[in-house]
């Protein structure tokens, strides 16, 4: 497996081949709120994310990615279902 920086560079180059640019962002604090119901009544334990209001169970990294996409802060469109 490639080190993290090389993986990002490979993704950037692959996406650039088809005209898509990417921007690396920090996921810090993005899984401190539920991406489904926006509640802060949740817990995060390592890779596990659990919302006590809507009962969402997810990998904490996935919860952060959904939050990044839902914010549409970087021109990303992603349907939150």
pLDDT, averaged across the chain: 77
Euclidean distance between CA atoms 56 and 30, whole angstroms: 15
Q: How confident is the model at residue 81 (pLDDT cuts 50, 70, 90)?
A: very low
Q: How confident is the model at residue 27 (pLDDT cuts 50, 70, 90)?
A: low
- Strand 57-59, strand 48-51: pairing: antiparallel
pLDDT at 21: 76
Give the angle subtended at the CA of 38 by the CAs of 35 and 41, to the nearest 5°: 105
């Amino acid at each position: 497996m490639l080190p993290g920086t090389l993986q990002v560079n490979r993704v950037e180059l692959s996406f650039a081949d088809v005209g898509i640019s990417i921007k690396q962002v920090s996921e810090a604090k993005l899984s401190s709120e539920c991406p489904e119901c926006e509640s802060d009544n949740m817990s995060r334990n390592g890779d596990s994310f659990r919302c006590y209001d809507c009962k969402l169970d997810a990998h904490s990294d996935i919860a952060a990615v959904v939050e990044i996409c839902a914010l549409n802060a970087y021109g990303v469109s992603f349907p939150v279902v």
